[in-house]
């Protein structure tokens, strides 16, 4: 059996009982670690699971899937992924490959940012499509995410913005010269994400986003519990100038609040606001939320 | 500490290690069982957790929250919910109440239908807002869900449709007479849901849904593994006339496929199609999907 097992969002204890049993029964266990990261290191997982883990980077998952699937028709093999197995299309590819090889597969689900984002206090059914925001460079500023955010905000829906992570990336020069030298990991911060959003609004100028009139929620280490998780609510301008170190270690996510904002959602979120007054004021006067 | 613990989707083994530790440390453990259900009975959970569970019905969660929260400032108390704690707004209310009482809370996330629906093979970032479909009666056929589906399909997005469940409901007569007699539980089936969708399309007539030109995916017991989970893909007409018992026990969910359908999504889903030919044909000619 080939298992793809979601690890959840935080640490070694977020695996499910079913997932842990599958890990313990496996002759090889791979850890996929480039579409997302946990808040702990591989060694801590290994100690807790009582298994050595084989790190599977993007290269390996995309080009050596047959090696990962080797003998999975006669033994158990597990691929561990942060969050839920269906967070990244790469894992869908693995399932298709297993299917072609007639290897039975079992998906073990877990929390992912796609549902745990509810922790910010906004109702999940008021979210539209989610978008990914990649690091801009001097010459490459892809902005299709902006069209998706506009579609959501035009309908009054909230948008989950997933912030880029760069793990085991090569510089252009090293890539061109075929040198396997990798840059240090980079994780987009909330202020950086907000600045990219506002830069894109400046270029597109459709009035979808506004520094002072768009509410947003920055979150870090969602699912990590009170001692790790941070939730900060404010206008885009407030979030852009908020001290970046408040959010601490990665991963960070951002929610753009839509106009269908409900008074109960305001009540829940205002406890996390940089300025409760501004939060309520914008919710009431710009969003038209029926507050006292 | 007041814990709200997601149980995931299937059975007693879908709880996380963190969740199980919290349950075992709690002096009282409540099981919320009206917004969703697991695939196993309470007794099986009790045997596995080594704890008695107190059933918390809608009445109790909505009107006796202070009793649930009693002593949670000095002891651990847990509320177990199917899926993830943020699947239902009721749980947001409980957190607000705990916050007002200055009781520390901790959310333990898990898979919910909102992210596990990815198992159908459609990419989560191509989903728009999700909708709930309630049982129609002769005199009450609320159709606001239709506007939401139209918003999604106009953008080409997929829609997750959550099907109604009725647990511990009173008949109008018993309610009027104040008799605490409850109807047997009811769970909406896929064909029933499809018929309600098509009935609403007949009334609204906006061309959003079509018996022969709209693709949809019926799923049951998502997260239950190969031996429980069913995925059936077809046009609405095909799903409406598909034998209902194929889907088996609840819970059932439905996905309306949007026009942004990607060839890789077709490749993944066609293995579940009632008629692979029809599935590919509609995907190609109606949805404009670039298939061979």
Given A90, A111, A132, which residue is the final one in a domain?
Answer: A111
Q: Is B158 annotated as a binding residue?
A: no
pLDDT at B39 over 80: no
- Does B144 share its domain with B247? yes
Asked whether residue A2 carries a pLDDT value surpassing 80, the answer given is yes
Average pLDDT over residues A234-242: 96
Write out chain B residues lying below 8 Å of A6, CB-based. 111
Give B225 or A102, the one with higher predicted confidence. A102
B119/A127 touch (CB, cutoff 8 Å), yes or no: no
| B40/B175 same-domain check | no
Question: Can you spell out the DSSP letters for A200-266?
Answer: HHHHH-SSS--TTT-EEEEEESTTS-TTT-EEEEEEHHHHHTS-GGGT-SSPEEEEEPPTT--HHHH
* B278 burial level (CB within 10 Å; 0-12, 13-18, 19+): middle
Nearest chain A residue to B17, by CA: A13
Classified as helix, coil or strand, A140 is: coil
The per-residue pLDDT for B29 is 97
**What's the confidence (pLDDT) of residue A273?**
97
What are B233-250's pLDDT values in tens digits?
999 999 999 987 888 888
Mean pLDDT of A246-260: 92
Pair of tokens at residue B205:
């007539």
pLDDT of residue B123: 94
User: Do residue B125 and residue B101 come from a single domain?
Assistant: no
Specify the pLDDT at position A179. Answer: 86
A17 contacts B84? CB cut-off 8 A: no
Q: What percent of chain B has pLDDT over 90?
A: 75
pLDDT at B76: 98
Q: Are residues A125 and A42 in the same domain?
A: no
Instruction: Please indicate, yes or no, if residue B292 is contained in any of the structural domains.
Output: no
- The set of residues, in sequence order, having a beta carbon less than 8 Å from that of A248 and lying 6+ positions away, is A220, A221, A228, A230
Among B55, B89, B111, residue at a domain's last position: B111
pLDDT in tens, B48-72: 999 999 999 878 888 889 999 999 9
CA distance A236 to chain B (A): 23
Q: Write down the pLDDT at residue B210.
A: 98
Shared domain for B202 and B144, answered yes or no, is yes
Which of B126, B127, B223 minimises the CB distance to A109?
Answer: B223
Same domain, B107 and B118: no
pLDDT digits (tens, 9 = 90+) for B84-138: 998 777 788 889 899 999 999 999 999 999 999 999 999 999 999 999 999 999 9
Q: For residue B175, what are the domain limits?
A: 114-285
Q: How many domains does chain A have?
A: 2
Both A222 and A280 in one domain: the answer is: yes
- For chain A, give the percent of residues with pLDDT over 70: 99
User: pLDDT tens digits for A130-169?
Assistant: 999 999 999 999 999 999 999 999 999 999 999 998 877 7
In the listed set A111, A139, A164, which residue is the last one of a domain according to the structure?
A111
Q: Identify the closest residue of chain B to A87 by CA–CA distance.
A: B124
Give domain status of residue B9, yes or no.
yes
Task: List, for residues A53-108, the tens digit of each pLDDT value.
Answer: 999 987 888 888 999 999 999 999 999 999 999 876 678 888 889 999 999 999 99
CATH number for the domain harbouring residue B6: 3.40.1010.10
What per-residue confidence (pLDDT) applies to B7? 95
Give Cβ neighbours of residue A112 (< 8 Å, ≥ 6 apart). A6, A9, A83, A84, A86, A87, B111, B115
What does DSSP assign to residue A158?
B
The predicted structure's pLDDT at residue A40: 82
Binding-site sequence positions of A for S-adenosyl-L-methionine: 9, 84, 87, 112-113, 163, 222, 252
B279, B158: one domain: yes
Q: Is B52 annotated for ligand binding?
A: no
B118 and B94 both lie in a single domain:
no
Helix axes B190-204, B144-155, angle to 10 degrees: 90
Residues A207 and A160 grouped into a single domain: yes
């Amino acid at each position: 059996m080939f298992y793809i097992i979601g690890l959840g969002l935080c640490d070694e204890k977020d695996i499910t009982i079913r997932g842990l049993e599958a890990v313990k029964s496996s002759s090889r266990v791979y850890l996929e670690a480039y579409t997302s990261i946990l808040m702990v290191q591989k060694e801590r997982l290994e100690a807790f699971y009582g298994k050595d883990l084989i790190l599977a980077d993007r290269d390996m998952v995309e080009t050596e899937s047959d090696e990962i699937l080797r003998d999975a028709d006669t033994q158990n093999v597990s691929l561990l992924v942060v969050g839920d197995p269906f967070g990244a299309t790469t894992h869908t590819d693995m399932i298709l490959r297993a299917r072609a090889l007639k290897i039975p597969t079992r998906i073990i689900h877990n929390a992912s940012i796609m549902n745990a984002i509810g922790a910010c206090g906004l109702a999940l059914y008021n979210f539209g499509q989610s978008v990914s925001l990649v690091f801009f460079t001097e010459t490459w500023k892809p902005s299709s995410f902006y069209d998706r955010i506009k579609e959501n905000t035009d309908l009054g829906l909230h948008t989950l913005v997933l912030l880029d992570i760069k793990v085991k990336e090569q510089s252009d020069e090293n890539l061109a010269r075929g040198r396997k030298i990798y840059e240090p990991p980079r994780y987009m911060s909330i202020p950086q994400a907000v600045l990219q959003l506002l830069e894109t609004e400046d270029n597109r100028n459709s009035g979808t986003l506004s520094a002072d009139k768009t509410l947003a929620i920055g979150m870090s280490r969602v699912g990590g519990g009170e001692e790790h998780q941070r939730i900060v609510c404010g206008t885009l301008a407030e979030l852009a100038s908020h001290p970046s170190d408040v959010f601490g270690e990665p991963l960070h996510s951002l929610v753009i609040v839509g106009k269908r904002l409900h008074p109960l959602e305001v009540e829940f979120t205002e406890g996390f606001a940089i300025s409760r007054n501004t939060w309520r004021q914008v919710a009431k006067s710009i969003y038209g939320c029926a507050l006292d």
